[in-house]
C-alpha cells in the first residue's frame, strides 16, 4: 500500500473516516436540514453522457382567465407553461504535502485525525460556496428577478426588534410565510436579541447531567442558528463635520480625517447621493438569512478518484502528497444558474456570487413571452440590520 508520513495509506478507510468524524467548526449552512438530497442527479448526468450542467423541466400550474358560461361565449383554450431550471456542478480540489500534517497528527489512529482535518476543510469550502450562491441570487442582474428578490430583502434601520423577522417574511411572500423554518444569524444580532430576552437558546443535557446551551435558538417561531460566517456589510452612513469618527469625502489625495470618494463607492453600502465635501462615518450591517427546510437541492456527484497519494521522489529529496477532489451540486429552489459569466467548466466562488449567473426559474423564452415562477414560492429572505 502507499505510504503517507511513513504510515500505511488506505483510501477507502480514509473516506469512511471522513464520513464518520465530527467537525469542530459551526459551518451552519451545511447542517440543520437545508439540504434536499437528490442522489438521482448523479445518474442523470451519467445518462446525459457526463458533463457539469443540465436543465431540469418544472411543470407549471394551470392558469388563465375564467370564461363566462352564458350560452353565448365560446370556450377558448390555453396551455400550461413548462419552466426550466439550470443546475451546475461545482468542482473543488486541494493538495497538501506531508509536512503540513506531520506535526499535527498525533495519537494512535493517524488516519482518523487526518480525515477529520480534511472533512472540516471541505465543510468550510462548501459553506463558502453556499454563502456565495445566496449572495448571487440576491444580486441577480436579470431585471424581473431583481424586482422580485427586492421584496425578499427587508432592511431594518437599527437593530433587530421583536417584529423584524415576521414583518420581513410577510413582505417577501405574504401568506406563504409559514414555509420559513430556520434562520442563520451572526452572533452580534443574536446576542442583542438574547439580551432583550427575544432569543432563547435550546439546551441539552450531557451524559454527566450537565445542562448546556446549544448554538440554536428560537426567534419569531423560527429556529435561529448562530454562525459568524454570516455576511457582514462594511460601508458608510451620512454624517456631519461634528459626528464622532466622521471622514470628509474628497476626490483625490486623502489625508488624515479624509476618505476618497472612490473608496466610499467601493464599499458595501453608502449614501446614494454622496459627493466630494460631504461627511461620512464608517458603519456595519449584518445579514440574516431565513429559509425553508431543504432549500438547496443537493447531490454529492463524486469524482473518479476523490483522494489519493502522490510520491514526488525528486523535490527536496522526496515528498509525500495528498490530493483531494470533490464535485457537488447545490441548487437553490426556483433559481437557475445561467452560466452567463463563467470561464471554465466549474464555477469559482466569485462566479457563484456573481448576480449575472442567476435568474428566477422561467419558461426559457425571451422578450414579452418570458414568464417566471411566482416569487412567493421562493422560500428565502434576507434581513439586514445594524445588529
153 within 8 A of 371, measured Cβ to Cβ: no
Give the SS3 label for residue 201. Answer: strand
Nearest C-alpha neighbor of 235 from the set 212, 261, 263, 267: 267
Residue 73 φ then ψ, to 5°: -75, 135
* Domain assignment present for 135: yes
Output the pLDDT for position 188.
95
Widest CA span of the chain, in angstroms?
94
> Which run of H or E residues covers position 136?
helix 110-138
* Domain assignment present for 201: no
Nearest C-alpha neighbor of 217 from the set 288, 144, 311, 141: 288
- Check residue 63 and report its DSSP letter: -
Q: Are residues 251 and 318 in the same domain?
A: no
* Domain assignment present for 358: yes
Q: Which residue carries 457526463 as its cell?
A: 50
Q: Are residues 140 and 108 in the same domain?
A: yes
Beta bridge partners of 330: 298
Q: Which long-range contacts (CB under 8 A, 24 or more apart) does 271-275 make?
A: 271/236, 271/237, 271/238, 274/236, 274/238, 274/249, 275/249
User: How many domains does one find in the chain?
Assistant: 2
378 within 8 A of 360, measured Cβ to Cβ: yes
Q: Where are the beta strands (DSSP E) in 240-318?
A: 247-250, 258-260, 279-291, 296-300, 307-312
* Domain assignment present for 217: no
Q: Are residues 104 and 136 in the same domain?
A: yes
Nearest C-alpha neighbor of 19 from the set 126, 120, 124: 120
Q: Are residues 272 and 351 in the same domain?
A: no
Q: What sign does the CA torsion over 150, 154, 157, 158 have?
A: negative
Nearest C-alpha neighbor of 329 from the set 122, 119, 90, 27: 90
Give the SS3 label for residue 380. Answer: strand
Output the pLDDT for position 277.
95
* Domain assignment present for 96: yes
Q: Which three cell numbers stand for residue 248?
A: 470628509
Output the pLDDT for position 108.
41
Output the pLDDT for position 148.
94
Which domain-ending residue is among 284, 304, 319? 284
Q: Are residues 51 and 87 in the same domain?
A: yes
DSSP class per residue in 6-17: TEE--HHHHHHH
Number of helices (H) and strands (E) in the chain: give both, helices first.
9, 20
Which domain-ending residue is among 230, 256, 284? 284
* Domain assignment present for 60: yes
The whole-number mean pLDDT for each consecutive block of 10 residues of the chain, a chain of 387 residues, reads 48 61 54 73 53 71 66 71 81 72 44 70 89 96 95 94 93 92 92 88 69 75 88 96 95 94 96 95 96 91 82 72 86 93 91 96 83 92 95
Which domain-ending residue is among 284, 318, 343? 284
- CA dist 43 and 39 (Å) reads 8
Q: Are residues 108 and 10 in the same domain?
A: yes
Output the pLDDT for position 315.
72
Q: Are residues 96 and 121 in the same domain?
A: yes
Q: Are residues 245 and 363 in the same domain?
A: no
Nearest C-alpha neighbor of 322 from the set 312, 309, 306, 311: 309
Output the pLDDT for position 12.
65
Beta bridge partners of 259: 249
- Please state whether 198 falls in left (phi above 0), alpha (psi between -120 and 50) or beta: alpha
Q: Which three cell numbers stand for residue 234?
A: 462594511
Its domain, for residue 47, covers: 3-64+80-149+295-373
Q: Are residues 245 and 338 in the same domain?
A: no
Output the pLDDT for position 35.
81
State the Cα angle at 107 between 323 and 122, rounded to 5°.
Answer: 35
Q: Are residues 269 and 304 in the same domain?
A: no
Q: Are residues 26 and 104 in the same domain?
A: yes
* Domain assignment present for 166: no
Output the pLDDT for position 363.
86
- CA dist 357 and 105 (Å) reads 41
Q: Are residues 103 and 26 in the same domain?
A: yes
* Domain assignment present for 360: yes
Output the pLDDT for position 155.
95
Amino acid at each position: 500500500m502507499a505510504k503517507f508520513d511513513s504510515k500505511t495509506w488506505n483510501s477507502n478507510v480514509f473516506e469512511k473516516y471522513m464520513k464518520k468524524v465530527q467537525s469542530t467548526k459551526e459551518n451552519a449552512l451545511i447542517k440543520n436540514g437545508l439540504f434536499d438530497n437528490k442522489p438521482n442527479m448523479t445518474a442523470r448526468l451519467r445518462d446525459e453522457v457526463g458533463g457539469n450542467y443540465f436543465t431540469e423541466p418544472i411543470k407549471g400550474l394551470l392558469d388563465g382567465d375564467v370564461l363566462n358560461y352564458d350560452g353565448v361565449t365560446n370556450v377558448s383554450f390555453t396551455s400550461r407553461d413548462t419552466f426550466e431550471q439550470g443546475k451546475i456542478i461545482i468542482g473543488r480540489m486541494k493538495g497538501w504535502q506531508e509536512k503540513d500534517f506531520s506535526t499535527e497528527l498525533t495519537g494512535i489512529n493517524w488516519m482518523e485525525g487526518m480525515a477529520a482535518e480534511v472533512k472540516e476543510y471541505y465543510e468550510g469550502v462548501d459553506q463558502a460556496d453556499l454563502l456565495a450562491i445566496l449572495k448571487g441570487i440576491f444580486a441577480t442582474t436579470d431585471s424581473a428577478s431583481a424586482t422580485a428578490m427586492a421584496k425578499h430583502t427587508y432592511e431594518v434601520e437599527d437593530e433587530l426588534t421583536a417584529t423584524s423577522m415576521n414583518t420581513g417574511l410577510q413582505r417577501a411572500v405574504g401568506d406563504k410565510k409559514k414555509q420559513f423554518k430556520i434562520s442563520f444569524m451572526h452572533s452580534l444580532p443574536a446576542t442583542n436579541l438574547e439580551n432583550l430576552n427575544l432569543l432563547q437558546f435550546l439546551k441539552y443535557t450531557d451524559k454527566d447531567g450537565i445542562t448546556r446551551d446549544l448554538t440554536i435558538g428560537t426567534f419569531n417561531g423560527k429556529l435561529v442558528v448562530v454562525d459568524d460566517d454570516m455576511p457582514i456589510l462594511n460601508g458608510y452612513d451620512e454624517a456631519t463635520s461634528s459626528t464622532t469618527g466622521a471622514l470628509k469625502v474628497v476626490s483625490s489625495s486623502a489625508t488624515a480625517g479624509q476618505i476618497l470618494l472612490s473608496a466610499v463607492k467601493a464599499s458595501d453600502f453608502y449614501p446614494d447621493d454622496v459627493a466630494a465635501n460631504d461627511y461620512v462615518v464608517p458603519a456595519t450591517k449584518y445579514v440574516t438569512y431565513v429559509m425553508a427546510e431543504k432549500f438547496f437541492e443537493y447531490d454529492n456527484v463524486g469524482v473518479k478518484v476523490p483522494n489519493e497519494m502522490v510520491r514526488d521522489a525528486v523535490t527536496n529529496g522526496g515528498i509525500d502528497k495528498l490530493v483531494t477532489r470533490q464535485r457537488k451540486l447545490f441548487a437553490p429552489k426556483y433559481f437557475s444558474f445561467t452560466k452567463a459569466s463563467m470561464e471554465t467548466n466549474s464555477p469559482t466562488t466569485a462566479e457563484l456570487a456573481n448576480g449575472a449567473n442567476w435568474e428566477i426559474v422561467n419558461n426559457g423564452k425571451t422578450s414579452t413571452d418570458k414568464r417566471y415562477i411566482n416569487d412567493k414560492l421562493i422560500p428565502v429572505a434576507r434581513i439586514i440590520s445594524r445588529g
